[in-house]
Amino acid sequence: MNDSAVLSVPHESAGGALSSARFLEAYRTMVLVRALDERCLALQRQGRIGFYAPHSGQEATLVGSALALEPDDWVFPAYRELAVALVRGVPLGAIVDQLYGNARDLARGRQMPNHFAFRDQHFVSASSPIGTQITQAVGAAMAAQRRKAPIVAITYFGDGATSSNDFHAGLNFAGVFNAPVLFLCQNNQWAISLPRSRQTRSATLAEKADAYGFPGVVVDGNDLRAVYGAVRSARERAVSGLGPTLIEAQVYRFGPHSTSDDPHRYRPDAEVDAAKGHDPLHLAKQVLLGDGRLDEATDAKIWEEARAAIAAAVTSAEAVPPPDPSSLFEDVFAVVPPGLEAERQTLLGAPPPREPSR
């Protein structure tokens, strides 16, 4: 391993520090999404939503990285990044509507929970195949480069995705074209049941960047300020024309991969307990308590407000009906073609339309 290519970034890095006011806001968002995890796991168990992929343990990385971005930047997420969408201004209600796939869901109930798409926030539609968003982010960055727009594309993926075709292709293209793209690997140590050591023999994931000719950075993903600093620095590098950066945020996935697996089958409880000793939420709270910007009473109030907001969003989402069956046939193409229109009419019980004439 080439140590020179793998930098460990201290939390007060060249990218600048997170202001006090933003730190407290960041903490509020971290609490909100932790509380959302708790609520959504329960909603799934009760059969009220179909699926959920929790992010507990990754909040500092999600919120810290999102705060380091600018509104015109583009985000190519995987499926554990709803906190990034929230930081970028997506309302909680829009996120909960997607989890329910109701008629108000901006993606029209087309995808499983956690596969978000929010055009206004440049939060690109997520898919389930692993790593496919990586090359797409590089393409968007190349397009921004061509338009001379001072922005970056950032893509989020996990440790498992570093084994994918698109990880290699994406990082390779990014290096060759010096694209303004940030690769944010949330190394949460587990790809469903497989530990990080079974994805690669490399000592770190960040050092893979060395082979592609740009810097790789390891950052403590539990440390909000460290993540913010690393992403901010990488962003400045990219918009200055210095090219991409791979950031490996080392975190730990406290919960299951999703509501469809039981982590007790593949990892010891002691490992989870040890990781929870570095809970990013706890670490952020300690910083705020130490600085006198937070006290226990205020903290309790933050939690209370978060749970109330979630309860309101859930109540609201559950009152909205599912999408109209007629919508099934829309957005396959820009215009519904005659064949699909005929299928729609059949579904709706109408007599099939007359032969399309020209």
| C-beta closer to other proteins: residue 24 or 112 | 112
| C-beta closer to other proteins: residue 82 or 138 | 138
| C-beta closer to other proteins: residue 127 or 293 | 127
**131: exposed, middle or buried (C-beta count within 10 Å: 0-12, 13-18, 19+)?**
buried
Q: 295 — alpha (psi -120 to 50), left (phi > 0) or beta?
A: beta
Minimum gap (Å) between residue 206 Cβ and other proteins = 21
The answer to whether residue 253 is catalytic is yes
Minimum gap (Å) between residue 126 Cβ and other proteins = 9
Contact 246, 215 (CB under 8 A): yes
The β-bridge relationship of strands 190-191 and 194-195 is antiparallel
Chain CA centroid to CA 311, Å? 22
What is the binding site for other proteins (CB under 8 A)? 74, 76, 105-108, 110-111, 115, 117-119, 124-125, 127, 129, 132, 134-144, 146-147, 153, 165-166, 168-170, 172-173, 176-177, 330-335, 337-339, 355-358
**219: exposed, middle or buried (C-beta count within 10 Å: 0-12, 13-18, 19+)?**
buried
Residue 40 backbone phi and psi in degrees, to 5 = -70, -35
DSSP lists the bridge partners of residue 76 as 155
Distance CA 2, CA 5 (A): 6
Residue type, 278: H
Give the helix/strand (H/E) hosting 322: none
| C-beta closer to other proteins: residue 277 or 339 | 339
Minimum gap (Å) between residue 324 Cβ and other proteins = 13
Choosing from 45, 119, 264, 266, which is the catalytic residue? 266
| C-beta closer to other proteins: residue 30 or 107 | 107
Both structure tokens of 128: 């389930």
Rg (CA), the chain: 21
Minimum gap (Å) between residue 174 Cβ and other proteins = 9
The answer to whether residue 278 is catalytic is no
The β-bridge relationship of strands 245-250 and 74-76 is unpaired
Choosing from 253, 267, 282, 344, which is the catalytic residue? 253
Helix axes of 92-100 and 296-318: crossing angle, nearest 10 degrees: 50
Minimum gap (Å) between residue 15 Cβ and other proteins = 24
Choosing from 55, 104, 257, 344, which is the catalytic residue? 257
- What is the distance between the terminal CA atoms of the chain, rounded to a whole angstrom? 66
| C-beta closer to other proteins: residue 15 or 175 | 175
Collect all residues with Cβ–Cβ distance below 8 Å to 176 and sequence separation of at least 6. Answer: none
* Residues counted in the chain: 358
Give the helix/strand (H/E) hosting 152: none
Minimum gap (Å) between residue 278 Cβ and other proteins = 34
Minimum gap (Å) between residue 204 Cβ and other proteins = 24
Distance CA 2, CA 232 (A): 24
Distance CA 287, CA 159 (A): 28
| C-beta closer to other proteins: residue 227 or 317 | 317
Residue 191 backbone phi and psi in degrees, to 5 = -105, 95
Positions annotated as catalytic residues are 253, 257, 266
